[in-house]
Structure 1
Amino acid sequence: MFLLRVGGQLLMTSLMLSLLVAAPLQASSWDQIGRYLRLLKRIEINALVAKDCPQGLLGAFHQSKRSLLLCGNNLPNDPEVVWVVLAHESVHVMQFCNGGPLMPAGLFSQSMDLARRRDPQMFQELKLYHSSQHQIEAEARLIQELPPAQVEAMFWRHCGDQIQP
């Protein structure tokens, strides 16, 4: 896996390659999602499924409550869709573990440029957020496109030191 090495060059190569492919590789099963949720639990992040989320909200991470929320009433019963939301929200968990953004400024800028060329509408929803939230939300949108193994590798890199047995 590209992300197991600590150096930023491999992270950049992996992210850049993922942004160039037409379709991201997503979770193929509920078992894979369950394993990832158990990993989050090992750093004392509670995963909750709500049935009463506002229309349009798919998930959220509440840092102060250490809770990752998936909106069951707004998500289809499809592991590929659920994985994208879980990956997105888990990026916010990683940012919490890291104490801020995960990507160096240069990598973030290059990744945004590549993603905008591939899909000019990818970041339209950022307008809904305060400008202070743009980088962390954009980062989550970029990383959610990575294959599950790379998302998990990033989780280990940024949150691994907090794992409870």
Structure 2
Amino acid sequence: MDPVRVRVLVSALIAGLIAATDAATGTGSGLKAETWDRIGTFAAVLRRAGTTTLVARDCPSSLLGAFHSERNAVLICANNLPNDPAEVWGVLAHEAAHVMQHCRGGPLLIDSEMDRAIARVRQRAPRLFKELRLYHSSQQRDEVEARLVQTLPPAQVEALFQRFCGKRLSGAESS
């Protein structure tokens, strides 16, 4: 399938997921994982796709998580997160978005969707939006997408991961 067509279809999928979330909640706010089991299950999916998942207890105080593309590894900084599955899910979903970008080989959204994505992040998570200014301009697009993904309900994050990284789950090369 044509790469531009794929990106347009994925953008439509993300837009549909946003609309469905808004309709379901009535507020436009994302839903979080409520159990450690859900987090463990999703972390296992990441590992099945070839992404190493690490939990550290000695991260710098400002770091909640990270994705290292060359090592294909997600790091969760337990020492900087409360013992709350909703908070941990947010960080895991955010870092999973970077894994999806890695699987995709670039951005998740087409350029014409970025203004809408920025508006959604600003509306749903003002604190996350303000944090964007801490990043170099070359990283902001990836960070907007990751913040958008982390505001989605767990089932939608999992569906997007399947969409972008599903070939890795089946053992085939990622696109």
State the TM bucket, normalised to the shorter chain.
0.7 to 0.9
In the alignment, the residues of structure 1 paired with residue 125 and residue 87 of structure 2 have an alpha-carbon distance, to the nearest angstrom, of: 18
| Greater helix fraction, Structure 1 or Structure 2 | 2
Partner of 2:156: 150
Q: Against the structure 1 CA distance between its residues 152 and 66, is the aligned structure 2 distance closer, same or farther, given a 3 Å change threshold?
A: same
In the alignment, the residues of structure 2 paired with residue 143 and residue 93 of structure 1 have an alpha-carbon distance, to the nearest angstrom, of: 12
Moved more, 109-118 or 75-84: 109-118
Larger relative contact order (CA 8 Å, sep ≥ 6): 1
In the alignment, the residues of structure 2 paired with residue 162 and residue 75 of structure 1 have an alpha-carbon distance, to the nearest angstrom, of: 29
User: In the TM superposition, what is the alpha-carbon distance from 1:78 to its structure 2 partner?
Assistant: 0.7
Letter in 2 for 1:139: E
Partner of 1:70: 76
Q: Against the structure 1 CA distance between its residues 18 and 76, is the aligned structure 2 distance closer, same or farther, given a 3 Å change threshold?
A: same
TM-score (norm 1): 0.88
Moved over 2 A (4+): 6-11, 16-23, 113-122
Partner of 1:11: 14
User: In the TM superposition, what is the alpha-carbon distance from 1:116 to its structure 2 partner?
Assistant: 2.6
Partner of 1:45: 51
User: In the TM superposition, what is the alpha-carbon distance from 1:10 to its structure 2 partner?
Assistant: 4.0
Deviations 1:1-35 (A, max 9, x none): xxxxx564343122245367253211010000010
Q: Does the 8 Å CA contact 2:56/2:78 hold for their aligned counterparts?
A: yes
In the alignment, the residues of structure 2 paired with residue 146 and residue 118 of structure 1 have an alpha-carbon distance, to the nearest angstrom, of: 10
In the alignment, the residues of structure 1 paired with residue 124 and residue 37 of structure 2 have an alpha-carbon distance, to the nearest angstrom, of: 31
Give the unaligned 5+ runs of structure 1: 1-5
Q: Against the structure 1 CA distance between its residues 58 and 118, is the aligned structure 2 distance closer, same or farther, given a 3 Å change threshold?
A: closer
In the alignment, the residues of structure 2 paired with residue 118 and residue 158 of structure 1 have an alpha-carbon distance, to the nearest angstrom, of: 24
Deviations 1:115-142 (A, max 9, x none): 3345554422112111110000011001
Q: Against the structure 1 CA distance between its residues 47 and 16, is the aligned structure 2 distance closer, same or farther, given a 3 Å change threshold?
A: same
Partner of 1:163: 169
User: In the TM superposition, what is the alpha-carbon distance from 1:41 to its structure 2 partner?
Assistant: 0.5
Tell me if 1:116 matches 2:122: yes
The 3-state SS of whatever aligns with 1:76 is: coil
Give the unaligned 5+ runs of structure 2: 1-8
Identity of aligned residues (%): 47
Q: CA RMSD in A?
A: 1.9
User: In the TM superposition, what is the alpha-carbon distance from 1:111 to its structure 2 partner?
Assistant: 2.2
